[in-house]
A and B are shown apart, each in its own frame.
Chain A
């Protein structure tokens, strides 16, 4: 900590040339640092670090209806969870969900961004319309989807439209084969999150220098696909990485729409709904719940790391 830096940043240490005062100046800084940062750090210790450590400890114990470890079981909870058909199938549910939602969100939000960015009149209007659902909650959207659009009876909008073509009612949320329940599950999330990713893409598009397009024009690139393929898409690389990673993490944490649309049933239950059921349901099995949560956390972190490796995380920052 050089004295030039100190005089520039700390007015209180004007008398620091005298040895004793200098020491006091640093102590004063430390005190003020903790005044500013301390309350936050204490909260983080209590509500972030402590829970994670406690959960790690609990995952090695048997703990029914209690947050106090009762009987040490070693790795048994982890073994149980990794061989639990319900837990494994919840990971499978997530995987199918991600396979639907990640590419669809990517393509459709990019398409919306391109459409809105090209419009010359009322651009703000279009942007607002697509962004507005982002402000709605999953509960609200699930209620509309479940009670109004994909209601399994005739007054549901989807079945009304099918009825015009003479197609019978479909029980959207409870038909397992074919798995119609994916249609409401995927569309509800698309409606809620496309506008958010569209905004990220628009911000990315606006950072592309117009001179690049002019240069491509001069070089004889064909308007349309060629320009998109060789100028726009590569320039959106950083944004694309961010969109893919955020989207995948968000998909892993799916809870609200599954819980509200389908509930805790085994044919379409993502990991969080299952963990909620076992740890806060009737038995409150916190040992297995903690082990499952930690397994899930590790999977999410590994997938995120892997994905950022593949796409190059260094560029994702801006």
Chain B
């Protein structure tokens, strides 16, 4: 994707542009870009500023661009605060993020491969049954899903947070489409050597599809880490709160100091910033492939 971008640049005639502003607007375009960059980065700056401020710096009657001094001790204070199960919430989020992503990719890739490659009489019907679930808007199913999970006794447990989210019809659909386009020649070579479906899938198909897996993994992990409604519904006990639920709860309960809360925010976006730094290409690829963030 990044390479395609480089080769198909702007058309030859200089100033013959796609934008309504055309040539006259060059200066305007740079001003607009600059303003947009400042507005988009401002919230990140506010997180950093407040995370490294004292409480009185944040709530001072006159707002200042910089805090009076950098308060690195906030991070120690955050984890030492016994009212706030922040370490526990981070652990829960990490488990949900990692296991949820691994499980979803494993299940969806296997289902997608089966649908794309294993001849079976009812494969079409199964495929339509999977696609049909895409019609149901995700967020309105939280009540029925809660009913099922609570009947299983999984409320306030990591099982309840993770397992119901593993079966993404959309991911299975994407994998099927991807595997339909996977070069058959690669698989045939392994088949001639006597490998079965399982061997071909694990030794040939998966290793040769790592960029696709990386793209979906980046998106799925971010989605899991940021998920709020489902963890809020399931996390009825503070031991099962994810970082998002913990932050949300403490803002309304007022039992946390504002500088600690902003330090929590800074800590919570750290994994995402890392993913962004190292996997940005895959992330963008995944977004354009799926067109859906959740």
**Chain A residues close to B by CB (< 8 Å):** 1, 5-6, 8-12, 26, 29-30, 32-37, 39-41, 43-44, 46-52, 54-55, 58, 67, 111-112, 114-120, 123-124, 126-149, 154-157, 160, 191, 195-196, 199-200, 202-203, 205-206, 208, 210, 213-214, 216-217, 222-225, 227-229, 231-232, 242, 246, 249, 252-253, 255-256, 259-260, 263, 272, 275-276, 279-280, 286, 289-290, 293-294, 296-297, 300-301
Contact = CB atoms under 8 A, between A and B. Distances in A.
A100 B116 CA distance: 41
A160 B25 CA distance: 32
B61 interface: yes
Contact of B61 (A29, A154, A225, A293): A154
Interface stretch (B69-77, B78-86, B139-147, B208-216): B139-147
Contact of A191 (B10, B43, B135, B184): B43
A48 B59 contact: no
A15 B291 CA distance: 44
15 contacts: A37-B111, A39-B111, A133-B40, A135-B269, A137-B225, A144-B265, A148-B58, A224-B22, A225-B20, A255-B228, A276-B142, A276-B233, A280-B146, A293-B141, A296-B137
Interface string B253-294: 000001001100100110011011000100110011001110
Interface string B54-72: 0000111111000000000
B176 to A, nearest CB: 10
A140 B269 contact: yes
A132 B133 CA distance: 30
B13 A213 contact: yes
Contacts of A29: 118-120
Given A8-B188, A128-B280, A199-B284, 7 more contacts: A51-B147, A124-B2, A135-B283, A142-B248, A154-B62, A217-B11, A296-B137
Nearest to B148: A51
Contact of B167 (A43, A67, A272, A279): A43
Nearest to B135: A301
Contacts of B36: 112, 115, 130
Interface residues of B, number: 120
Interface string B122-139: 010010011001011111
B16 A223 contact: yes
B144 A199 contact: no
A40 B44 CA distance: 39
Contacts of B197: 32, 35-36
Contact of B265 (A1, A140, A223): A140
A188 B248 CA distance: 16
Interface string B235-259: 0000000001001100110000010
A256 B276 contact: no
Contacts of B133: 44, 48-49
A281 B64 CA distance: 41
A55 B293 contact: no
B31 to A, nearest CB: 11
A225 B16 CA distance: 10
Contacts of B140: 253, 272, 275, 293-294, 296-297, 300
Contacts of B293: 134, 196
Contact of A67 (B4, B142, B147, B201): B147
Given A1-B119, A213-B11, A213-B18, A115 B280 contact: no
A36 B118 contact: yes
B141 A136 contact: no
Interface in B1-58: 1-2, 4-5, 8-13, 15-25, 29, 32-33, 36-37, 39-41, 43-44, 46-47, 50, 58
B287 A50 contact: no
Contact of A126 (B15, B33, B121, B226): B33
B147 A132 contact: no
Contact of A52 (B44, B46, B114, B144): B144
A34 B118 CA distance: 10
A82 B33 CA distance: 46
B18 A227 contact: yes
Contacts of B174: none
B222 to A, nearest CB: 6
A157 B46 contact: yes
A293 B228 contact: no
A115 B26 CA distance: 10
B143 A33 contact: no
Closest 8 CB pairs of A and B: A224-B22, A36-B114, A51-B144, A55-B144, A137-B226, A213-B11, A43-B167, A40-B111
B288 A37 contact: no
Nearest to A161: B63
Contact of A272 (B196, B229, B258): B229
A279 B226 CA distance: 23
Contacts of A115: 19, 29, 32-33, 36
B222 A135 contact: yes
Contacts of B21: 224
